[in-house]
A and B are shown apart, each in its own frame.
Chain A
Amino acid sequence: MSRRNWRLELPLHLMLVPGIIIVLLFSYGPMVGIVIAFENFIPVKGIFHSKWVGLDHFRYIYNLSETRVVLRNTVFIAFMKIIGGLFAPLVTALLLNEIRKKFYKRSVQTIIYMPHFMSWVIMAGILIDVLSPTSGIVNQFIEWLGFDKVFFLGDDKWFPYVLAVTDVLKEFGFGTVVYLAAITAVNPSLYEAAVLDGANRWKQTLHVTIPAIIPITILLTTLALGNVLNAGFDQVFNLYNPSVYSTGDILDTYVYRIGLASAQYGVATAVGLFKSVISLVLIALSYFLAYRFANYRIF
Chain B
Amino acid sequence: MVLKKAKVKVKGSAMLSLLLLMTTVTACTNSDNSNAVSNAGNSPSASTSTGESPAATPGNSVPSGPEGKYDPPIEVTTVRSLNQAAELAPGETYDENIWTKTFESDLGIKVKNTWKVNAEQYQNKIAVTMASGDMPDFMNVDAQQFQILVQAGTIADLTDVYAKYASDLTKSSFEGSNSLRLKAATVDGKIMGIPADGGEAADTQLIYIRKDWLNNLGLQPPKTMDDVINIAMAFTKNDPDKNGKNDTYGLSLDNNLFNGWSGLDGFFNGYHAYPFNPTKGTGTSLNFIKGADGKVQWADVQPEVKTALGKLADLFKQGAIYPEFSVIDGNKSAELVTSGKVGITFGAFWVPTWPINNMYKDVPGADWGIYPLVSSDDQPALSQSMGGLPSHYFVVSKKSKHPEAPFLLLNTYIEKIYGHFDKNYHTVTVDGKDYGEFGLAPINGGLPGNNPRAAAAVQAAKKSGDTSALNDEQKNYYDQVAKFEAGDATMWAANKLWSEGGVFSLLGQYVDNKQVFTSAYVGNPTPTMIAKGPSLRDEEVKMLTSIIMGSKPLDYFDEWAANWLASGGQSILDEVNASGMVQ
User: Contacts A66-B535, A241-B327 hold; do A255 and B10 have CB atoms under 8 A apart?
Assistant: yes
CB closest residue in chain B, given A26: B18
Instruction: Mark the stretch among A128-136, A140-148, A164-172, A178-186 that contacts chain B.
Output: A128-136
Q: What separation, in Å, do the CA atoms of A263 and B542 have in the docked complex?
A: 23
> Chain B interface secondary structure, helix, strand, loop or mixed?
helix
A256 at the interface (CB under 8 A from B): yes
By a CB distance below 8 angstroms, the chain B residues around A26 are 18
Q: How large is the interface on A (under 10, 10 to 19, 20 to 34, 35 or more residues)?
A: 35 or more
| Contact (Cβ within 8 A) A128 B327 | yes
| Contact (Cβ within 8 A) B326 A42 | no
B15 at the interface (CB under 8 A from A): yes
A29 at the interface (CB under 8 A from B): yes
By a CB distance below 8 angstroms, the chain B residues around A265 are 13, 16
A107 at the interface (CB under 8 A from B): no
Chain A, range 32-60, C-beta contacts under 8 Å to B: 32-34, 36, 42-48, 60
Interface centre among A32, A44, A265 (most CB of B within 10 A): A44
Q: What separation, in Å, do the CA atoms of A128 and B131 have in the docked complex?
A: 42
Q: What separation, in Å, do the CA atoms of A258 and B328 have in the docked complex?
A: 21
CB closest residue in chain B, given A41: B20
B180 at the interface (CB under 8 A from A): no
CB closest residue in chain B, given A136: B324
Instruction: Mark the stretch among B299-307, B361-369, B525-533 that contacts chain A.
Output: B525-533
| Contact (Cβ within 8 A) A260 B3 | no
| Contact (Cβ within 8 A) B6 A33 | no
By a CB distance below 8 angstroms, the chain B residues around A272 are 13-14
| Contact (Cβ within 8 A) A43 B324 | no
B279 at the interface (CB under 8 A from A): yes
| Contact (Cβ within 8 A) B534 A36 | no
Chain A nearest CB: distance from B124 CB in Å?
10
User: Contacts A47-B20, A261-B283 hold; do A243 and B535 have CB atoms under 8 A apart?
Assistant: no
Q: What separation, in Å, do the CA atoms of A118 and B315 have in the docked complex?
A: 38
Chain B, range 244-269, C-beta contacts under 8 Å to A: 255
| Contact (Cβ within 8 A) A44 B131 | yes
A191 at the interface (CB under 8 A from B): no
Q: What separation, in Å, do the CA atoms of A284 and B66 have in the docked complex?
A: 67
| Contact (Cβ within 8 A) B3 A237 | yes
Give which listed residue, A46, A121, A128, A243, contacts B545 with CB less than 8 A: A243
| Contact (Cβ within 8 A) A242 B148 | no
Q: What separation, in Å, do the CA atoms of A263 and B136 have in the docked complex?
A: 23
CB closest residue in chain B, given A127: B327
User: Contacts A65-B535, A121-B3, A128-B332 hold; do A44 and B154 have CB atoms under 8 A apart?
Assistant: yes
User: Contacts A44-B130, A46-B20, A261-B530 hold; do A151 and B324 have CB atoms under 8 A apart?
Assistant: yes
A268 at the interface (CB under 8 A from B): yes
Q: What separation, in Å, do the CA atoms of A265 and B145 have in the docked complex?
A: 13
| Contact (Cβ within 8 A) A262 B533 | yes
Q: What separation, in Å, do the CA atoms of A30 and B133 have in the docked complex?
A: 20
B50 at the interface (CB under 8 A from A): no
Chain A nearest CB: distance from B257 CB in Å?
8
Chain B nearest CB: distance from A73 CB in Å?
14
B86 at the interface (CB under 8 A from A): no
By a CB distance below 8 angstroms, the chain B residues around A128 are 327-328, 332
Chain A, range 217-255, C-beta contacts under 8 Å to B: 233-234, 237-238, 241-243, 245, 252, 255
| Contact (Cβ within 8 A) A134 B14 | no
User: Contacts A32-B21, A261-B282, A261-B530 hold; do A245 and B538 have CB atoms under 8 A apart?
Assistant: yes
User: Contacts A36-B17, A43-B127 hold; do A48 and B282 have CB atoms under 8 A apart?
Assistant: no
Chain B, range 1-50, C-beta contacts under 8 Å to A: 3, 6-7, 9-10, 13-18, 20-24, 27-28
Chain A, range 103-161, C-beta contacts under 8 Å to B: 119-121, 125, 128, 132-134, 151, 153-154
Give which listed residue, B13, B27, B326, contacts A46 with CB less than 8 A: B27
User: Contacts A43-B131, A128-B328 hold; do A234 and B3 have CB atoms under 8 A apart?
Assistant: yes
A269 at the interface (CB under 8 A from B): yes
User: Contacts A154-B326, A257-B538 hold; do A44 and B148 have CB atoms under 8 A apart?
Assistant: yes
| Contact (Cβ within 8 A) A237 B6 | yes
Q: What separation, in Å, do the CA atoms of A132 and B325 have in the docked complex?
A: 11
| Contact (Cβ within 8 A) B326 A43 | no
A64 at the interface (CB under 8 A from B): yes
| Contact (Cβ within 8 A) B17 A256 | no
By a CB distance below 8 angstroms, the chain A residues around B545 are 241-243
Chain A nearest CB: distance from B132 CB in Å?
8
| Contact (Cβ within 8 A) A233 B6 | yes
Q: What separation, in Å, do the CA atoms of A119 and B4 have in the docked complex?
A: 11
Give which listed residue, B14, B133, B531, contacts A60 with CB less than 8 A: B531
| Contact (Cβ within 8 A) B17 A269 | yes
Give which listed residue, A46, A243, A256, A257, contacts B549 with CB less than 8 A: A243
By a CB distance below 8 angstroms, the chain B residues around A204 are none
B541 at the interface (CB under 8 A from A): yes
Q: C-beta contact mask, B312-353 vs A, less than 8 Å → 1, else 0?
A: 000000000011101110001000000000000000000000
Chain A, range 249-293, C-beta contacts under 8 Å to B: 252, 255-265, 268-269, 272
CB closest residue in chain B, given A246: B542
Q: C-beta contact mask, B543-557 vs A, less than 8 Å → 1, else 0?
A: 001100101000000
| Contact (Cβ within 8 A) B151 A261 | no
Q: What separation, in Å, do the CA atoms of A258 and B282 have in the docked complex?
A: 9
Please give 20 more A-B residue pairs, beta carbons under 8 A apart, in addition to A46-B27, A48-B24, A133-B323. A29-B21, A30-B14, A32-B17, A44-B133, A45-B152, A46-B131, A47-B20, A65-B567, A66-B538, A154-B326, A233-B6, A233-B10, A234-B3, A242-B255, A242-B326, A243-B549, A243-B551, A257-B534, A260-B282, A263-B127
Q: Can you name 8 A-B pairs with beta carbons within 8 Å?
A: A30-B21, A33-B14, A154-B324, A233-B7, A243-B549, A258-B535, A259-B534, A264-B530
Chain B residues in the interface with A (C-beta under 8 A): 3, 6-7, 9-10, 13-18, 20-24, 27-28, 127-128, 130-131, 133, 144, 148-149, 151-152, 154, 255, 279, 281-284, 322-324, 326-328, 332, 525, 530-531, 533-535, 537-538, 541-542, 545-546, 549, 551, 567
Closest 6 CB pairs of A and B: A33-B17, A46-B24, A30-B18, A261-B282, A44-B152, A262-B530
